[in-house]
Chain A
Amino acid sequence: MTTSSRSSKGRLARLMMKMPLMLTCREVEAFLIDYLEGTLPRAQRAVFDLHLRMCRECRDYLAAYRKSVELGRAAFARPEDPVGPEVPEDLVKAILDARSREG
């Protein structure tokens, strides 16, 4: 992160505490990842939650964003086969041969 973006985020953080209702969606976006990671300070988190309560767009956006992460996970999950696919026999052989050459 550059110095300028860090300081503008600092300015934003101060602004959001002073005038929580003035926070725009674009500003909310900058804090979203920290909000989801649970690393947002408690007071800022409260402001974020307040914006979400008032803003239909951000609520729907966040729901779809979360769902996308879940869909990514679900699409790759193989509940029927948690250890993954079998290694093709010719590949097992190639791996073992490479080791023999290595000594």
Chain B
Amino acid sequence: MQEGTTQRAAADALGDSALAEAIGRGDGAAYEALVRRHGGAMLAVARRLLRDEDEARDCLQEAFLQAWTKIDTFEGRSALGTWLHRIVVNAALMRLRKRKRRAEESIDALLPEFDADGCRIEPAWQMDEPADSLVQRAQVRELVLQSIDRLPDDYRTVLILRDIEGYDTAEVAQMTGDSQGAIKTRLHRARAALKKLLEPIYGGELT
């Protein structure tokens, strides 16, 4: 145990804004309460973006150190969890940029197909089952997660931030430093590629 039990219990009882104030005063017990309260959600997003346990752990450490040093910039306009989420996403994006690019499959082969007249080539799908119920099947859930994993980093990142983490186009553009038009194009291609990879589900091959 890092801090006294009583201090910990007192810090645990603080609301987010009181917690932020206490951390601003250099209160170690409050900092520990922050790590325990928000660390899980932050670790989850670091794992999703980095797909590497060691990197996700390092990333979480960096994010918390940043939070500690710049807690006075937390203005309470957003929730503390939202503020921290943004810090860990930015730390993960920084790592992705620095990381040596792994050999990535090109996304081109996964984009929609058209015939010479510009007509779409598309099998007829039967999809009555809702997504929530489909992912109850381990095979389906695995295929979805693996397929997102297979997307090139630039595409996967935008898909995760927009469709999974719920940021809007403007926010993602700000985080990655790209134009909103570029983000929309990338999101569209990422979704189209994911759809291609998930076709075995729509073709009823995974029942």
| Cα A95 to Cα B134 with chains together (Å) | 38
For the complex, give the distance between the alpha carbons of A58 and B41 in Å. 38
Kindly provide the distance from the CB of B138 to the nearest chain A CB, expressed in whole angstroms.
Answer: 11
Tell whether B60 is near chain A: CB-to-CB under 8 Å.
yes
**List of B residues within 8 angstroms of A55 by Cβ:** 120
The answer to the question of A56 belonging to the interface, with a C-beta cut-off of 8 Å to chain B, is yes
**A80 located at the interface, meaning its Cβ lies under 8 Å from any Cβ of chain B in the complex:** no
Does A19 make an interface contact (CB < 8 A)?
A: no
Size band of the A side of the interface?
Answer: 35 or more
Least distance between B62 CB and chain A CB atoms (Å): 9
Please tell me which stretch of B9-17, B97-105, B185-193 contacts chain A, meaning at least 4 of its Cβ atoms lie within 8 angstroms of it. B185-193
Instruction: Give the complex CA separation of A23 and B64 in angstroms.
Output: 52
- The 13 listed contacts between A and B (C-beta, < 8 Å) are A1-B179, A27-B118, A33-B188, A57-B121, A63-B127, A71-B135, A72-B164, A74-B132, A91-B57, A92-B35, A92-B36, A95-B60, A102-B69
A67 to B114, CA, bound (A): 21
Residue of B nearest to A28 (CB): B120
Q: Are A1 and B120 in contact (CB under 8 A)?
A: no
CB contact between A26 and one of B118, B131, B181, B187 (< 8 Å): that residue: B118
| Chain A contacts for B79, CB-based, 8 A | none
Contact string, B63-86, partner A, CB cutoff 8 A, digits 1/0? 011001100000000000000000
Return A84 CB to nearest CB of chain B, in Å: 4
Residues on B with beta carbons closer than 8 Å to the beta carbon of A85 = 40, 43-44
Given contacts A24-B117, A84-B41, A96-B35, contact A91 B202 (CB under 8 A): no
Interface bin, chain B: 35 or more
Q: Which of A25, A37, A64 contacts B202 (CB 8 A)?
A: A64
- Which chain B positions have C-beta within 8 A of A99? 28, 31, 64-65, 68
Q: Distance (Å) between the CB of B36 and the closest chain A CB?
A: 7
**1/0 contact trace for B107-135 toward A, CB 8 Å?**
00000101001111111110100111011
- Encoded as 1 (CB less than 8 Å from any B CB) or 0, chain A from 25 to 41 comes to 11111001110010000
Closest CB pairs A-B (n = 4): A24-B118, A25-B120, A70-B131, A84-B44
CB interface residues, B 10-53, toward A, < 8 Å? 28, 31-32, 35-36, 39-44, 48
Contacts of B112 in A (CB 8 A): 29, 61
Q: A33-B184, A68-B195, A74-B134 are in contact. Are A63 and B114 (CB under 8 A)?
A: no
Given contacts A32-B188, A64-B198, contact A71 B131 (CB under 8 A): yes
